[in-house]
C-alpha cells in the first residue's frame, strides 16, 4: 500500500492528563562524559507513572506523577486540612522539619522563573490539570528544597535549591494512585526539573515505560545501540515531534473518524462504539476480547524516524471482556501519549534537539 505523506506536529506527552515488542537486546545508556548519572524509580500504578524521589533534610519520600506536559514539581505539604488535600499513603511533607527548606519572596528571581503570582509578599502558584470530570488542581507556596536521587553508582545524589511547589490546596483526578503525593514536571519551561538540572545532566534524560511493575528514569545519559531511531525535537510551550505519516492507516490523527473506519475494516471482528461524553473528544473504537480480534501493527513515521508499534501500544484492555483503541479524536493538540510509548526506551537531548526511540522490554521486575 502506497505511503501517503502529511505533516503535523505531535505533542509528545508522558502525563497524568493524557494517559493515553520488544527486542532481546537490553537498552543501552551511555553516560556521555557525565561521571555520575542521576536516576529515579518509575512505578506503574493504575495507568499512571509515578516517580519516587526524596525531598528535604532529612529526606522524605515523595511520589510524583511524571508529566512532560507541565513544568513545576510540587508535592502536598503541611499544613493542609483534610478538606483541602487528597488522601495519600505517605505523611505530608512538613517544611518546618526540613533544614534546607527556603520560602521565596515574590521579588526574587526564582518567583519570576516559576512564572507565578504574589500574595502578601509570598510567591504562590496555582495549577489546573485536565478538564471536566478528569480535572485536578494544586495551589500553594513556591519554595526551594534539596531533592535526593538514586545514581548509577548506587549512592544517593543531592540536587540542592530546586524550585518546587508546596501544595496546601490540592484535588486529585479520579484515577490518582494512593501513593501519589504530587507531580514531577519534566516539560521545557524554566521551572521544570529538567531545566533546573540542565547543567548537571547536559540537557539529557531518558525513560522506559513498563506495561506493569517499575523501571528507571535516567538523567544525564544518551540512548545508543542497535535499533535506535531519532527525530528532531521541537521545543515550544511543550515538546513536539513532526508526524509525517501513519503506515497502513495512512491518515493524520486529527482525521479520527476516517482512522476508525480504516482500523475497523482491517480488524475481523464486530466493533463496539463507546460513548465518552467529554466535550471535544470523540468516541473510541472497542472490541469484545472474546471475539479474539486480530489486531494490526502500525508504524508511526516521524521525521527521520519510523516507530513500529505493537498491538499492545494501540489497544488496551479496559475490563475483563473489553479492549479499546488508544487513538482518540479531539479538538486539542495531536498527542503521542503514554500507551504508545510503553516498552520503548525514549531519550531526550535538549541541547541537540532530538528524541530517540529504541524498542525494548522496560520492566525491572
pLDDT higher than 80, residue 268? no
Q: Considering only 124-133, 267-276, 349-358, which range has the smallest mean pLDDT?
A: 267-276
SS3 per residue for the chain: CCCCCCCEEEEECCCCCCCCCCCCCCCEEECCCCCCCEEEEEEEECCEEEEEEEECCCCEEEEEEEECCCCCCEEEECCCCHHHCCCCCCCCECHHHCCCCEECECCCHHHHHHCCEEECCEEEEEEEECCHHHCEEEEEEEEEEEEEEEECCCCCEEEEEEEEEEEEEEECCCCCCCCCCEEEECCCCCCCHHHHCHHHHCCEEEEEECCCCEEEEEECCEEECCCCEEEECEECCCEEEEEEEECCCCCCCCCHHHHHHHHHHHCCCCCEEECCCCCCECCEEEEEHHHCCCCCCEEEEECCEEEEECHHHHEEEEECCEEEECCCCECCCEEECHHHHECEEEEEECCCCEEEEEECCCCCC
Total residue count of the chain as it appears in this document:
365
**So what's the pLDDT on residue 230?**
95
On average, the pLDDT of the chain sits at 81
What are the φ/ψ torsions at residue 69 (nearest 5 degrees)? -95, 0
* Alpha carbons 134 and 241: distance in angstroms, whole number: 26
Q: Where are the domains of the chain?
A: 8-20+227-335, 35-201
pLDDT higher than 60, residue 25? no
Q: What residues contact 228, with CB distance under 8 A and at least 6 apart?
A: 356, 357, 358
Joined grid coordinates for residue 138: 494544586
**So what's the pLDDT on residue 349?**
95
Confidence of residue 92 (pLDDT cuts 50, 70, 90): very high
Confidence of residue 364 (pLDDT cuts 50, 70, 90): low
pLDDT higher than 90, residue 29? no
**So what's the pLDDT on residue 353?**
95
**So what's the pLDDT on residue 8?**
57
Tell which residue, 251, 257, 254, 313, has the closest CA to residue 284.
257
Percentage of residues in the chain with pLDDT exceeding 90? 43
* Alpha carbons 43 and 214: distance in angstroms, whole number: 4
* Alpha carbons 207 and 66: distance in angstroms, whole number: 10
Q: Domain spanning 35-201 has what CATH number?
A: 2.40.70.10
More confidently predicted of 331 and 96 = 96
Residue carrying the nine cell digits 505539604: 77
Joined grid coordinates for residue 68: 512532560
Tell which residue, 344, 286, 291, 343, has the closest CA to residue 315.
286
pLDDT digits (tens, 9 = 90+) for 66-90: 999 899 999 999 998 888 998 888 8
**So what's the pLDDT on residue 24?**
30
pLDDT higher than 90, residue 316? no
* Alpha carbons 247 and 249: distance in angstroms, whole number: 5
**So what's the pLDDT on residue 58?**
96
Confidence of residue 273 (pLDDT cuts 50, 70, 90): low
pLDDT digits (tens, 9 = 90+) for 33-49: 444 689 999 999 877 89
What are the φ/ψ torsions at residue 359 (nearest 5 degrees)? -65, 130
Amino acid at each position: 500500500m502506497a505511503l501517503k505523506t502529511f505533516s503535523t506536529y505531535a505533542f509528545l506527552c508522558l502525563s497524568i492528563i493524557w494517559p493515553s515488542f520488544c527486542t532481546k537486546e537490553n537498552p543501552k545508556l551511555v553516560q556521555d562524559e557525565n561521571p555520575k548519572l542521576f536516576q529515579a524509580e518509575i512505578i506503574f500504578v493504575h495507568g499512571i507513572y509515578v516517580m519516587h524521589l526524596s525531598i528535604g533534610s532529612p529526606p522524605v519520600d515523595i511520589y510524583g506523577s511524571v508529566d512532560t506536559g507541565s513544568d513545576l514539581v510540587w508535592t502536598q505539604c503541611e499544613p493542609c486540612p483534610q478538606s483541602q488535600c487528597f488522601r495519600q499513603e505517605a505523611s505530608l511533607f512538613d517544611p518546618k522539619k526540613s533544614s534546607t527548606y527556603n520560602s521565596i519572596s515574590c521579588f526574587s528571581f526564582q518567583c519570576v522563573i516559576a512564572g507565578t503570582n504574589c500574595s502578601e509578599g509570598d510567591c504562590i502558584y496555582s495549577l489546573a490539570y485536565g478538564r471536566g470530570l478528569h480535572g485536578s488542581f494544586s495551589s500553594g507556596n513556591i519554595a526551594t528544597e534539596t531533592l535526593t536521587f538514586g545514581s548509577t553508582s548506587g549512592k544517593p545524589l543531592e540536587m540542592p535549591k530546586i524550585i518546587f511547589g508546596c501544595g496546601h490546596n490540592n484535588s486529585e483526578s479520579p484515577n490518582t494512585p494512593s501513593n501519589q503525593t504530587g507531580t514531577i514536571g519534566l516539560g521545557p519551561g524554566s521551572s521544570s526539573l529538567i531545566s533546573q538540572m540542565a547543567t548537571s545532566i547536559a540537557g539529557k534524560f531518558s525513560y522506559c515505560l513498563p506495561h506493569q511493575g517499575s523501571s528507571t528514569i535516567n538523567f544525564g545519559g544518551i540512548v545508543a545501540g542497535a535499533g535506535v531511531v531519532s527525530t528532531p525535537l521541537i521545543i515550544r510551550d511543550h515538546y513536539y515531534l513532526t508526524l509525517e505519516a501513519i503506515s497502513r492507516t495512512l491518515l493524520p490523527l486529527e482525521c479520527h473518524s476516517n482512522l476508525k473506519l480504516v482500523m475497523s475494516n482491517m480488524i475481523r471482528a464486530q466493533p463496539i462504539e463507546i460513548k465518552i461524553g467529554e466535550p471535544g473528544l470523540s468516541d473510541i473504537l472497542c472490541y469484545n476480547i472474546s471475539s479474539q480480534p486480530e489486531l494490526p501493527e502500525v508504524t508511526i513515521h516521524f521525521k527521520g524516524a519510523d516507530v513500529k508499534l505493537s498491538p499492545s501500544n494501540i489497544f488496551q484492555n479496559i475490563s475483563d471482556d473489553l479492549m479499546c483503541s488508544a487513538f482518540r479524536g479531539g479538538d486539542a493538540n495531536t498527542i503521542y501519549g503514554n500507551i504508545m510509548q510503553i516498552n520503548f526506551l525514549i531519550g531526550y537531548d535538549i541541547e541537540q534537539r532530538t528524541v530517540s526511540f529504541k524498542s525494548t522490554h522496560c520492566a525491572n521486575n
